[in-house]
Amino acid sequence: MKFPVFDLHCDTAYEMLRTGQSLTDNCLAVSLTGAKKVFSRYVQIMAHWTDDALSDEAGWEQLLAMHGHLLQDAAIREGHAVIATTIPSGANLPT
- The torsion angles phi and psi of 22, rounded to 5 degrees, stand at -100, 165
pLDDT tens digits along 3-35 = 888 888 888 889 999 999 998 888 988 788 888
Three-state secondary-structure class, residue 74? helix
Helices (H), 1-94: 12-19, 32-38, 56-72, 74-77
| Residue 90: predicted pLDDT | 64
Q: Residue 75: CB partners within 8 Å, gap ≥ 6? A: 22, 23, 24, 32, 81
- Whole-prediction pTM: 0.77
